[in-house]
Amino acid sequence: MYKDKLKLAEVMNLSAFLAIKWTLLVMVGLRLLSGFIELSAAFLMLRMNSVEKAVAINAMLAIIGPTVLLLSISIGLVGMSDKLSLSKFLLIGAGVTLILLGIRK
């Protein structure tokens, strides 16, 4: 009887991991992809061996950072949507807006 309860608990933990953590896995995947792109760009800059080309590559990277930020925050908010009130969503949205304004200017 005890072994059956233990197996049931293990299955429930696995299903909870698969059901709840997908948002976290997607967010982590986006950050890993972003890091891979950043590292690849750094090696490409070294290979090109030109300041002008490095600046051009760096300018292209300026698009990736904010895009990954917005995507990961959006996915995280979707994952937490059942736990947050409307006022907290508005505060988070205002914070993201301020971050983007701060980056822009």
Domain ranges of the chain: 2-104
Rg of the chain's alpha carbons, rounded to an integer? Answer: 20
Q: Are 79 and 23 in contact, with CB atoms under 8 Å apart? A: yes
Position with higher pLDDT, 89 vs 21: 89
Distance CA(97)–CA(100), nearest Å, equals 5
Q: What's the pLDDT tens digit per position in 16-57?
A: 555 557 888 899 999 999 999 999 999 999 999 999 999 999
CA distances from 50 to 43, 46, 47, 58, 70 (A): 12, 8, 8, 12, 31
**Between the CA of residue 28 and those of 44, 70, 80, what are the distances in Å?**
24, 14, 16
